[in-house]
Amino acid sequence: MFLKSISLFSVLVGASVTVRKTGQGPTGYEVTFRYENVTASSITVAGGLQPFTDSYHATLSGSALYDPHNYQPGWFFANYFGPPKDLPYQMTSMGNGSWVYTTPLPSGTYYYAYLINCLGNTTCDIDSGKYVIDPDEPPFLNVQGDQTQSTFQVPFDPEFQYDPDINLNFDYALPVDEAHRGTVHNVNYTSPGSVHPAQDVHDFVIYLPHGYSNATSKKYPIMYLSHGGGGDGQDWQNLAQASHIVDRLILEEHIEPTVVVMPSFYNIAPEYKQVYGSKHAPAVAPSAPVVRENYMQYLMPFVETTFAVSTSPSERAFAGLSLGGRLTYEMYINATDYFGYFGIFSGATFGGPTSYVNASMIAAKPALREKGIFTSVGLYDFAFDDIRGLEAAFQANAVPFLGRVVPFGYHAWNTWQDCLWFFGRKALWKSLPFEANAVS
Ligand SMILES: *[C@@H]1O[C@H](CO)[C@@H](O)[C@H](O)[C@H]1NC(C)=O
Ligand SMILES: *[C@@H]1O[C@H](CO)[C@@H](O)[C@H](O)[C@H]1NC(C)=O
Ligand SMILES: *[C@@H]1O[C@H](CO)[C@@H](O)[C@H](O)[C@H]1NC(C)=O
Ligand SMILES: *[C@@H]1O[C@H](CO)[C@@H](O)[C@H](O)[C@H]1NC(C)=O
Ligand SMILES: *[C@@H]1O[C@H](CO)[C@@H](O)[C@H](O)[C@H]1NC(C)=O
Ligand SMILES: *[C@@H]1O[C@H](CO)[C@@H](O)[C@H](O)[C@H]1NC(C)=O
Ligand SMILES: *[C@@H]1O[C@H](CO)[C@@H](O)[C@H](O)[C@H]1NC(C)=O
């Protein structure tokens, strides 16, 4: 019942990365990377492929740095913080221009790019602009450079990966069978002042569920799903397999067929220009009120006149991670009546307690108590305190909400996949109000 539609496949991705079911420990799966470069003196598989930890060695700012060759159940994929960044994914030269790296990996979505001649050079990371994208497994993107890493998924094998203390099965992000898949598209739209992908043109990614047609009178519920600081609208699809997760939420009947729009909050004006794919200073993020006004003026009207989506607030949701979680909170406070559901993932206010809901805000706007709010944050996530503080403010003010702590969670994509999956399973389009917490 849990995973209706995963077929048993032995080779999952393109020529240069193969995921093979081995039927042996340590994980039951082996991943082989292959790359050709005759002149290179070292090649590292880098990016989102990071060392592992277990919960006994995970902290807010560190982890065990385990090599998955020594995998044991209960290990999870952690954010890696400091130098050296070369551990442990060094490819081996075959002496003829071919480079190979083979490793067991446990269940999860991984993203990567190759770093050439960077061994031992701690400034030569994925942001240095020296990465090479896997030509056989290109990223999902709209314009070259928008995304710099390719993605693959390793299935769960209960024989080798089951741990009684923590569920680390990410198979909900595997593709469903072809007959039930929705489609994913990049869309350009007119947004005066935008500087990317062209002057006065901005873009978003749209997921249309299986069977979608805009030629019928049916109007689909719509969820806006935001990226975070430094990211863009392609992130959710390229790095987190968002369409696979939503396909499965629909197939398993956790949610009705839903359209998902993944917008970009950078580039909406020249002062927020994001230069992708190289070591540039990170763009200045527009403040959440600026993004809200821009989206309400250009994005939402375009989406609602172009696609068969509902215009009923009870069938509109906004969700986002990190700075996108801050943006979701903004929508909750300042676009309260426009949406029915809010998913605040790993980021709440970044303004601390003075920005949390309080009695006078609720007195002025009672609707703040009538929404479908879902908060979620990783146990090892730097947004933990802010989310938990916001939850306490909700509780103190009798605002119903559902909260989740992701037990393996850093401020990272595997946390946000879990946030999306559980937002869909527990909160999205569910009857309101949610049961309020009793105040003890
Ligand atoms: C191959 O390696 C050389 C360094 O020897 C590097 O300059 C070049 O960009 C690499 N090319 C590709 C396609 O990986
Ligand atoms: C290099 O040698 C390996 C191992 O024999 C082989 O698998 C690979 O195809 C060779 N690469 C090229 C480019 O000939
Ligand atoms: C280390 O990498 C940086 C960034 O790519 C580069 O500028 C620098 O020359 C490299 N240093 C060495 C010793 O190769
Ligand atoms: C959006 O516009 C950019 C810049 O003109 C173009 O490169 C890209 O292909 C367009 N994307 C779509 C989906 O039309
Ligand atoms: C209908 O859907 C397609 C994408 O599937 C889109 O290009 C088109 O603009 C939509 N809207 C209308 C009114 O045709
Ligand atoms: C909501 O709007 C007010 C007034 O523009 C602004 O001060 C505040 O920062 C906005 N966001 C939140 C979360 O209160
Ligand atoms: C409640 O929040 C509003 C808006 O942020 C703020 O102006 C007001 O001072 C707060 N009231 C209390 C009692 O903290």
Q: Tell me the per-residue pLDDT of 93-115, one tens digit each, with 9 for 90 and over.
A: 999 999 999 999 999 999 999 98
Average pLDDT of span 258-266: 98
pTM comes to 0.94
Contacts of 94 (CB under 8 A, 6+ apart): 100
Q: Which ligand is nearest to the CA of 201?
A: 4
The pLDDT value recorded for residue 50 is 83
The pLDDT value recorded for residue 269 is 96
**Beta carbons of 238 and 149 less than 8 angstroms apart:** yes
Residue 14 has pLDDT above 60, yes or no: no
Residue 370 has pLDDT above 80, yes or no: yes
| CB neighbourhood size of 359 (10 A) | 10
pLDDT interval class at 49 (50, 70, 90)? confident
Predicted confidence (pLDDT) per residue in 300-322, tens digit: 999 999 999 999 999 999 999 99
The pLDDT value recorded for residue 129 is 64
Q: What ligand 2 atom has the least distance to the C-alpha of 96?
A: 1
Q: Are residues 272 and 298 in the same domain?
A: yes
Q: Are residues 126 and 191 in the same domain?
A: no
Q: What ligand 6 atom has the least distance to the C-alpha of 349?
A: 13
Average pLDDT of span 226-252: 97
- Residue 210's domain comprises 178-427
Q: Which ligand is nearest to the CA of 279?
A: 3
Average pLDDT of span 351-356: 89
The pLDDT value recorded for residue 335 is 98
Q: What ligand 5 atom has the least distance to the C-alpha of 306?
A: 11
Phi, psi for residue 76 in degrees, rounded to 5 = -135, 165
Question: Which pair of structure tokens corresponds to residue 167?
Answer: 């569920």
| CB neighbourhood size of 346 (10 A) | 30
Q: Is 198 in the pocket of ligand 4 (CB under 6 A)?
A: yes
Nearest residue (by CA) to ligand 4, atom 2, is 197
- Within 314-427, residue ranges assigned H as helices are 323-334, 359-364, 384-396, 413-422
Q: What is the mean pLDDT of the chain?
A: 91
Average pLDDT of span 130-152: 90
**Beta carbons of 91 and 44 less than 8 angstroms apart:** yes
Cα(388) to centroid(ligand 5), Å: 41
Q: Is 117 in the pocket of ligand 1 (CB under 6 A)?
A: yes
Cα(334) to centroid(ligand 7), Å: 14
pLDDT interval class at 128 (50, 70, 90)? low
Residue 282 has pLDDT above 80, yes or no: no
Residue 187 has pLDDT above 60, yes or no: yes
Domain closes at, from 139, 173, 207: 173
**Beta carbons of 394 and 373 less than 8 angstroms apart:** yes
Residue 437 lies inside a defined structural domain of this protein = no
Q: Are residues 338 and 313 in the same domain?
A: yes
pLDDT interval class at 81 (50, 70, 90)? low
Cα(400) to centroid(ligand 5), Å: 37
Residue 19 lies inside a defined structural domain of this protein = yes
Among 36, 38, 39, 98, which is best to mutate for testing ligand 2, by the most ligand atoms less than 8 A from CB? 98
Domain closes at, from 173, 206, 230: 173
Contacts of 307 (CB under 8 A, 6+ apart): 206, 208, 214, 220, 222, 259
- Least confident among 135-139, 305-309, 321-325, 430-434: 135-139
Half-sphere exposure in the Cβ direction for 219 (13 Å, CA): 13
Domain closes at, from 158, 173, 188: 173
Is the model more confident about 368 or about 122?
368
Q: What ligand 5 atom has the least distance to the C-alpha of 214?
A: 1
pLDDT interval class at 371 (50, 70, 90)? very high
Q: What ligand 2 atom has the least distance to the C-alpha of 97?
A: 13
Q: Are residues 249 and 155 in the same domain?
A: no
Nearest residue (by CA) to ligand 5, atom 7, is 306
Residue 7 has pLDDT above 50, yes or no: no
Average pLDDT of span 413-426: 98
Q: Are residues 72 and 157 in the same domain?
A: yes
